[in-house]
Amino acid sequence: MSDINPFLYPLKQPDFNLRLIKQNQHWRCYQVEFTVIATGYFPGGKIARGEYYEPTKTDKAPLAILIHGWGDHSVIPLKLMVDGLVCQGTACFVLYLPFHTGRLSKELVFKLSHLTPDEWFAGYQIAVTNVRCIIDWAGQNGKTDLNSITVLGLSLGAFVGSMTMGIDPRIKAGIFIVNGGNTGKIMQTNSVARFGKKYRVPEAEYLQNQKNYFEYLCEVAEKGFDNVPPAQRTYLIDPLTYASMLKGRPVLMINALWDEIIPRQASLEFQRACECEMVTYPTTHASIWALYPLIVRRINLFLKNLKSS
């Protein structure tokens, strides 16, 4: 087992508990709980949660793992997509991230805006291993087409999804909404005021950090991810570190031209590294959902092309 990769874990029988909560003529929806097996600690506890939507008319269904962004409200646009996807024969697993208040005790909800670097790292570690455990479970449930597993992530969920796809070849395709890479650049150049004092550093320090990071990426490209110890642990939770590992697999990025949180340059860096398709809409990070019908249409076209290829 690699000493570098923080998303590895001992393989064992997935411990998933499913409870049927609703159904219709097209799907059955189960509330799901499973044990967190990441080695990192996060105040979200040891139980992961989600919802699994199983098509009723498909024996071996493609699987889409949907991962929300920061804030509980970010689950809403993803869950609105579920009915259409399942009616087309795609099973959907909506994962609640360890940062979701449904996975936190009440006293820890208020800590989310004050996470320590260790807690951020552990949160990502748990989120990525949660996705990998879902794939483990899907591989044993007998109802999943293992050649058709897609991750669909929004913002923070796109970070998690793209990192997972980079290290797990079982994920065949990715859809990443308002996504980017190079978190040092994102924190330094975004236009969100609340990030200003907390994450930005003096310009000279920022430029040196960027130089160090790109030297690390060049070394990873030459020697392989598992063979290059990072100078900073944050490199291991940066989507750009894993972007080149997505080459050759279908990836769709959907981004906002005037994204105030993930600057366009950070999105372009990720796109160039993974050589994927990117659709850009003239919106901000949050207002991109004003174009919800266009986004859903574009996602459906991407998934349709996957099935026909």
Tens digit of pLDDT at every position of the chain (309 positions): 467 999 998 888 888 999 999 999 999 999 999 999 877 776 667 899 999 999 998 889 999 999 999 999 999 999 999 999 999 999 999 999 999 988 877 767 777 778 888 888 999 999 999 999 999 999 999 899 999 999 999 999 999 999 999 999 999 999 999 999 999 999 999 988 676 677 899 999 999 999 999 999 999 999 999 999 999 999 999 999 999 999 999 999 999 999 999 999 999 999 999 999 999 999 999 999 999 999 999 999 999 999 877
Q: Region of 182 please: left (phi>0), alpha (psi -120 to 50) or beta.
A: left
- Tell me, yes or no, whether 299 lies in a domain: yes
113 burial (CB, 10 Å; 0-12 / 13-18 / 19+) is: exposed
Helix ranges (DSSP H) in the chain: 75-87, 106-109, 117-138, 156-167, 183-189, 193-199, 203-223, 239-243, 264-274, 292-308
Report strand pairing: 47-55 vs 27-35.
antiparallel
| Structural domain harbouring 255 | 16-308
Q: What pLDDT is recorded for position 261?
A: 94
Q: What pLDDT is recorded for position 1?
A: 44
* Both structure tokens of 108: 């820890």
Half-sphere exposure (CA, 13 Å, Cβ side) for 56? Answer: 10
- Tell me, yes or no, whether 107 lies in a domain: yes
8-state DSSP, 170: T
pTM tops 0.85? yes
Q: How many domains does the chain have?
A: 1
- Tell me, yes or no, whether 83 lies in a domain: yes
Closest by alpha carbon to 155, among 301, 286, 5?
Answer: 286
Q: Region of 275 please: left (phi>0), alpha (psi -120 to 50) or beta.
A: left
- Tell me, yes or no, whether 9 lies in a domain: no
- Tell me, yes or no, whether 7 lies in a domain: no
- Tell me, yes or no, whether 4 lies in a domain: no
Phi, psi of 63 (to 5 degrees): -120, 130
- Tell me, yes or no, whether 2 lies in a domain: no
CA distance 280 to 21: 37
Q: Region of 246 please: left (phi>0), alpha (psi -120 to 50) or beta.
A: alpha
* Both structure tokens of 14: 């997935």
Q: What are the C-alpha distances in Å from 212 to residues 216, 231, 250?
A: 6, 8, 30
- Tell me, yes or no, whether 192 lies in a domain: yes
Q: What pLDDT is recorded for position 188?
A: 94
What CATH number is given to the structural domain containing 282? 3.40.50.1820
